[in-house]
Amino acid sequence: MLKDYGKTWVYVYLRQLTLDKVKSYVKTGTGWDVSDDGTVFDPNRNLVALEAKMSNQTGQPKPSVWVAKDKNASEQDMSFSCIGTVQDVSSHPSQQRIHRGVGIFSVSMEVEGGPNVRPTPGMGCEANLCFTLVSLRTWGITDCVAPIVHAPSKWY
């Protein structure tokens, strides 16, 4: 079992193209290259796994899970209902699988040094992106993706 998985963090799977686009925006907007530390690439499915934190601070809302009411509805008619927090839902055995859908995140950037540190081309300094899950809109569970497990230090 992974320590605190589903309580303080989760694995998120996204297309490589999506992560590359986010990294490009960071580079253009800040000048910083983004580190690939903590990401695992699955070339068979063109997916990247990364860790996302979950807000678990007192007074902060916990990330919620919203399920499609009708999976066959058109895009314009799609509606969702909240079934609880990620922490609550992940404790149910029937939900301990990979969900497909849309995750809504806050993204922050960490760099070593003080607040006046600026990127220096050719120096190899990189920024780390920190994803925090805010909400999840799911169309259901998928059996088409096998979990990619990285970070063996998180095992009990």
* pLDDT (tens place) for every residue of the chain, 156 residues total: 567 777 788 888 888 898 999 999 988 988 888 988 888 888 887 888 888 888 766 666 677 777 778 777 777 787 888 777 777 777 776 666 666 677 788 888 888 877 777 776 666 678 888 888 887 777 666 555 444 444 445 544
Nearest in space to 4 (alpha carbons), one of 107, 102, 86, 97 = 86
Q: State the pTM of this model.
A: 0.68
Model pLDDT, residue 94: 65
Nearest in space to 138 (alpha carbons), one of 84, 60, 93 = 84
Model pLDDT, residue 80: 81
Count of CA atoms in the C-beta half-sphere (13 A) of 146: 7
Model pLDDT, residue 24: 93
